[in-house]
Amino acid sequence: MQKPPSKVSAETFGVQDALYVLFKHKWLIALLSALGLGAAAAVYFNRTPIYQSEARLLVRYVLERASVDPVQYPARPNILTGDSVINTEIEIITSTDLALAVADKIGTNVLYPEIVGEVLLSDAAYGIIEDMEVGIGQSRNVLHVMYRNPDPKLSKRVLREIVARYFEKHLEIHRSAAAFDLVAQQAEEVRERLKETERQLNKLRTDSGILSLADSTSALSSQRAKTQADLMDAKAEFAERNASIESLGKTFAAEDDSSMRGESSDRAPSSKEERDPLPAQVITEYRTVMEMLMLLQKREMDLRLKFKSGNLLLSNNQQHISTYDRQRRDLVSKYPDLAAEADAMEKNTVDNPKWNLIMEKARLASARAKIGMLESHLQEIAEQFGRQYAIGAEIEEIDRRKQMEDAEYRSLEANLKNATVDQALDPSRMPNITVVQQPTEPVKTYDRMVHKIILGLAGGGIMIGVGLAFIIELLFDRRIKRPIEIQTRLQLPLLLSIPYIRAKNRGGLMLCHESGAPRIGQGGNSDLSAVIDEHASEAHVRKANHFMLPYSEAIRDRIIFNFEINNVIHKPKLVAVTGLSEGAGASTIATGLAKSFSEIAGAKVLLVDLNSYHSEDSPLLRNFPRHSLNGALRLANHTSFKEGGQRLYYASAMARKDEGELVAFTPHHLYELMPELQASKFDYIIFDMPPVDQTSRTLTMAGLMDKVILVLDAENTSRDALKWGYSELVKGRADVSCVFNKTRSHAPSWVIGRT
């Protein structure tokens, strides 16, 4: 049995499909194309002529001298050439401004005399642009300007005005003559701005004291480096004094212990100073103040070498000097002998540990104050850096603005001189553009819109025909029309494709016998006469010339080949022929297939008709003997069956009740007869089955067949119906192959994809 296909390929639409649609609907496309061409011809012969005038302009180059040139451009004018220049000139000629100027010069009522009432100037300008055409000559630097109008005189007049206005517009855009007053005004404005910028720059430099941001930054950097070095020295000194104080403290404590044991009781004050010495913290504070004054005075000398008066660092340093000098004066006024006492302490420090300790503490406090001062100074330098960068950035911004305004002013001065020269230039005598051909006398032509309408009608008929053909095929008509669709799109097995044959060419009787051949059921054998159909009679000698026979023989050969490769060796072999709709041709193919099998030497074939009870009117049989299915099986069991000359038998599947009423042949009857069918001496039994539908008996009986031929009507088989019918047959484990019947040749075979 054949397995169902694994998947159905997605439908694709290729070149062959498009060609098939065009060939199939060629008459529809031809009809609509003829209608479109006829409408185009009617419009062509009824169109109104217009008159065209043409002028030619030679554009050698363009002298670009604008009213305000960018700073980076050179002072001399630019000479431009190339396609971009020509395209620019085309844009100028076709601009709305030029058209408005022409319409205003000629007058809207003159341009459109047929319109009653006032015509807007903008509408007239748009009409001029619509009727004007500008092209490029073969030399790529000659412009062809054409204007069309129903009035021949107006056509030439308007074109002459277009050329004249073009020269003026060109001079206005590319030269500076029209901008003389504007350039003079701009030059004066830029000069005033330049003066104000210079005033702001000088004031900012004077107030900040920064002449150059780079120099000021360098001075601050060196000052910060020096301050950082001083800070490191002060920290080192602080550590040194601290260690010295710890050492002196231990020495002084040892001496103090010895004096407590009796040495101090023997001594007495020898002077007033010993009796009333200055406090150690006062001496320490005085020495710290003096050290800080010396440090600040030294730093002031360094700052004055690098910065101007008014600098923030200088001002802060002077404030610190004033603060420490005031502290020094306060200490001296409070302790008049402080300076002498400090000097004496300096001299007595070697022999007196106590004074040494006091002096070291003073130096330690001085180092601590120096560290604080240096750190504060570093903070001030950092703040000064921030302020300086802000002011410096502002100075640089103003300086850049000054330079730009200065360059702009110089450029405007040069443009002002050029504008003075261009103002006296005659537009019609520009050396770079020459009129090669003055507006010609108008010649008769036709409107471009009419040409478009004609082409639209002619092409529209073709496009509508083609579009309608594709819409019908892709959206509305879902039938299978070509054999290749069955194999490529649906991936179903296809045995054969049978073309559509007209009724007059289909031939005569299909089933016939030789006149001298003995026939079972006739003659002297009375036992067999009962099973022969009562309508059977002597068959006439006829020549089988039916059109189906060549195709049925091809189907027969392929079925036999299928049996061979699938090792189907039993007898009889059951072959069913069915369709998806009435009139698909299944009965004709079944009859032809039975006839073809009967032509095999020694083969006995039984054709079983499951479609109707009355086959007397069939043009394929006529007087061919007819049997019931039971009668045909009894004939096959007769001893002289194989020796008989008749090879083909026909039976109508009917069942009789006791009352003699005929009933339909059901799958149950087939199941009951299967043992007799399998035991019969027929080699092939061909079943002509009813069409496949949801209630068809064929779906149940097809699984009992060795081969099922599904006949597809090319005129009445949809893709969805084929998918459903094939899948239902395969579900019943039937080995199904398709025969595509009534194929119409709408296109060449290479387009249809014959099988």
For residue 369, the enclosing domain spans: 213-258+277-419
What's the pTM value of the predicted model, to 2 decimals?
0.47
Q: What percent of the chain has pLDDT over 90?
A: 11
Residue 454 covered by a domain: no
Look at 208 and 91; give whichever has higher pLDDT.
91
**Is 253 found in the same domain as 389?**
yes
Residue closest to 226 by CA, chosen among 287, 290, 305, 293: 305
Higher pLDDT, 480 or 73: 480
- In this model, does residue 717 exceed pLDDT 50? yes
Q: What is the pLDDT of residue 355?
A: 59
Question: Does residue 728 sit within a domain?
Answer: yes
Indicate if the pLDDT at residue 348 is higher than 70.
no
Please determine, for residue 615, whether its predicted confidence score (pLDDT) is greater than 60.
Answer: no
The CATH number of the domain holding residue 95 is: 3.30.1890
Are 601 and 593 a contacting pair, CB within 8 Å?
Answer: no
Which of 79-88, 91-100, 339-348, 695-704 is the least confident region? 339-348
Q: Containing H/E element for 403?
A: helix 353-423
Say how far apart CA 520 and CA 625 lie, in whole Å: 10
- The answer to whether 636 and 606 are in contact (CB under 8 A) is yes
Contact yes or no for 684/605 (Cβ under 8 A): yes
Round to whole Å and give the CA distance between 548 and 501.
Answer: 10
Residue 572, preceding peptide bond in cis (omega within 30° of 0): yes
Q: Examine the domain organization and report whether 389 and 430 are in the same domain.
A: no
Distance CA 592, CA 609 (A): 13
Residues 6+ apart with CB under 8 A from 148: 50, 51, 52, 131, 132, 133, 155, 445, 447, 448
pLDDT surpassing 70 at residue 597: yes
Compute the distance between CA of residue 679 and CA of residue 660 in angstroms, rounded to an integer.
27
Whether 193 is in a domain gets the answer: no
pLDDT at 608 over 80: yes
Examine the domain organization and report whether 621 and 496 are in the same domain.
Answer: yes
- Of 662, 664, 651, 690, nearest to 572 by C-alpha is 651
Lowest pLDDT segment from 332-336, 599-603, 727-731:
332-336
378's enclosing H/E stretch is: helix 353-423
Q: Is the distance from CB of 235 to CB of 371 less than 8 angstroms?
A: yes
pLDDT on residue 44? 82
Written as six digits, the tokens of 496 are 């054969």
For residues 611 and 27, the model is more confident at: 27
**pLDDT surpasses 60 at 748:** yes
Supply the pLDDT for residue 576: 93
236 and 155 both lie in a single domain: no
Is residue 266 scored above 50 in pLDDT? no
Amino acid at 130: E
- Closest-CA residue to 373 (of 313, 283, 286, 311): 313
pLDDT bracket for residue 540 (50, 70, 90): very low
Name the burial class of residue 120, with classes exposed (0-12), middle (13-18) and buried (19+) by CB atoms within 10 angstroms of its CB: exposed
**How far is it, in rounded angstroms, from Cα 708 to Cα 577?**
6
Residues 358 and 431 reside in one and the same domain: no
Give pLDDT, residue 709.
93
Lowest mean pLDDT among 126-140, 488-502, 719-733: 488-502
DSSP H stretches of helix in 12-134: 15-24, 26-45, 83-93, 96-106, 108-111, 121-131
Choice among 50-54, 145-149, 428-432 with the minimum mean pLDDT: 428-432
Domain count, the chain: 3
| 156 and 225 within one domain | no
Looking at the DSSP bridge assignments, the partners of residue 446 are 49
Q: What is the pLDDT of residue 220?
A: 66
**C-alpha distances out from residue 667 to 610, 626, 696, Å:** 11, 22, 10
pLDDT at res. 514: 40
Q: How many CB atoms lie within 10 A of CB 176?
A: 25
- Cα–Cα distance measured from residue 401 to residue 200, given in angstroms and rounded to the nearest whole number: 11
**pLDDT tier, 684 (very low <50, low <70, confident <90, very high otherwise):** very high
Q: Which of 317-321, 518-522, 567-571 has the lowest mean pLDDT?
A: 518-522
Residue 700 located in a structural domain:
yes
| pLDDT at res. 71 | 41
Those residues whose C-beta lies under 8 Å from the C-beta of residue 578, and which sit 6 or more positions away, are 586, 689, 690, 691, 692, 698, 702, 708, 709, 710, 711
Residue 710 has pLDDT above 90, yes or no: yes
pLDDT band at 356 (very low <50, low <70, confident <90, very high): low
Percent of the chain past pLDDT 70, that is, above it, reads 68
pLDDT surpassing 80 at residue 610: yes
- In tens, the pLDDT along 402-424 reads 788 788 777 777 766 666 655 55
* The predicted structure's pLDDT at residue 533: 40
Name 525's Cβ contacts closer than 8 Å, sequence gap at least 6: 640
How many C-beta atoms lie closer than 10 Å to residue 135's C-beta?
A: 12
pLDDT of residue 520: 35
- Count, in order, helices (H) and strands (E) of the chain: 23, 17
pLDDT of residue 109: 85
646, 513 Cβ separation under 8 angstroms: yes
Q: What one-letter code names the amino acid at 248?
A: L
Angle formed at CA 656 by CA 627 and CA 683, multiple of 5 degrees: 35
Check pLDDT > 60 for residue 344.
no
Percentages (nearest 5) of helix, strand, coil residues in the chain: 55, 10, 30
Which of 302-316, 525-539, 701-715 shows the lowest mean pLDDT across its residues?
525-539
Supply 308's token pair. 């101007």
What confidence tier does 389 reach under pLDDT thresholds 50, 70, 90? low
Residues 622 and 546 in one domain: yes
Which letter does DSSP use for residue 336 in this model? T
**Closest by CA position to 408, among listed 627, 192, 161:** 192
Are both 153 and 299 inside the same structural domain? no
Q: Does pLDDT of 486 surpass 90? A: no
Could you tell me if residue 715 is inside a domain?
yes
Evaluate whether 286 touches 328 at the Cβ level (below 8 Å).
yes
- The CA radius of gyration of the chain, in Å to the nearest whole number, is 61
For residue 141, tell me if it sits in a domain: yes
Residue 462 pLDDT greater than 60, yes or no: yes
Strand, helix or coil at 275?
helix
pLDDT exceeds cutoff 50 at 536: no
Q: Which two tokens stand for residue 525?
A: 């054998």
Could you tell me if 53 and 154 are in contact, meaning their C-beta atoms sit under 8 angstroms apart?
A: no
Reply yes or no on whether the pLDDT at 201 is more than 60.
yes
Per-residue pLDDT reduced to its tens digit, 36-85: 999 988 888 887 788 889 999 888 877 666 554 444 444 445 666 667 78
What's the chain's length in residues?
755
- Closest alpha carbon to 68 in 197, 181, 179, 189: 179
Residue 204 domain-assigned (yes or no): no
Helix (H) or strand (E) holding 63: strand 62-64
Residue 689 has pLDDT above 80, yes or no: yes
Of 66, 298, 248, 246, which is closest to residue 173 (Cα–Cα)? 66
Place of tokens 């009813």: 690
- DSSP-derived letter for residue 737 is E
Q: Report the CATH number that the domain containing residue 570 is assigned in CATH.
A: 3.40.50.300
Q: Is residue 434 located within the same domain as residue 391?
A: no
What whole-number distance in Å separates Cα of residue 554 and Cα of residue 497?
Answer: 10
C-alpha–C-alpha distance, residues 119 and 106, integer Å = 13
Q: Is residue 3 part of a domain?
A: no
* 433 and 489 assigned to the same domain: no
pLDDT surpassing 80 at residue 648:
yes
Q: Specify which of 149-163, 227-241, 622-636 reaches the highest per-range mean pLDDT.
A: 149-163
Q: Are residues 539 and 664 in the same domain?
A: yes
DSSP 304-323: HHHS-TT-HHHHHHHHHHHH
Q: Which two tokens stand for residue 657?
A: 């009740």
User: Does position 228 have pLDDT exceeding 70, yes or no?
Assistant: yes
Tell me the per-residue pLDDT of 36-49, one tens digit each, with 9 for 90 and over. 999 988 888 887 78
Lowest mean pLDDT among 382-386, 429-433, 540-544, 689-693: 540-544
> Is 320 found in the same domain as 252?
yes
- Per-chain mean pLDDT for the chain: 75
Both tokens assigned to 141: 């630097």
Highest averaged pLDDT of the listed ranges 275-289, 493-507, 583-597: 583-597
